[in-house]
Amino acid sequence: MTAFDRIQDRLEGVQPRGNTASARCPAHDDHKASLSISRARDFHGVVLHCHACRDVDKVLAALKLTRRDLFDNPHDQQRGYTVEAEYPYDDESGRVMYVKERRYPKDFRQYIPLADGSRQCEARLVSCRFHMGCISGMSAA
């Protein structure tokens, strides 16, 4: 289930319009569907906006959801980022040397895919001890 569906399921008076929808805002007494729900363009998730209260956190609290639930895969938000794209870099024999990851919020990281399907953070080649982003990335592999 995508975040777009999950959030609409909890709302009342939903009026779907393709990749967006409007609904009554659950954070206050709303008579005219002030809440807009849109599929996010920059990550796999949803953008919420209330034209009346403009308070996303209040809306989420009323729905008993957190900011994590704005992502299609809440685990992504636990890590603090989503992977938008991966760019493999091959050597001359066609073997993948490393993969560059484009993340949201905007960031680029590289890793080396290992034969067993796990990945080695490129920073680990230098020193991975204090590289928290690497450690959380490793546990997700």
| Residues that bind Zn ion in the complex, under the rule CB under 5 A | 25, 27, 50, 52-53
> Shortest approach of Zn ion to residue 64 CB, angstroms?
16
Tokens representing 76?
Answer: 């992504």
Backbone φ, ψ for residue 43 (5° rounding): -155, 170
- Is residue 94 helix, strand or coil? coil
Nearer to Zn ion, 27 or 134 (CB): 27
Q: In this complex, which beta carbon is closest to Zn ion, that of residue 14 or of residue 99? A: 14
Q: Which is nearer to Zn ion, 3 or 11 (CB)?
A: 11
Decide whether 52 or 63 has the Cβ nearer to Zn ion: 52
CB of 10 to Zn ion, least distance (A): 14
Question: What would the two tokens of residue 119 be?
Answer: 């990945």
CA distances from 15 to 50, 74, 121 (A): 14, 25, 45
- For residue 8, the minimal CB distance to Zn ion (Å) is 16
Alpha carbon distance 138, 100 (integer Å): 15
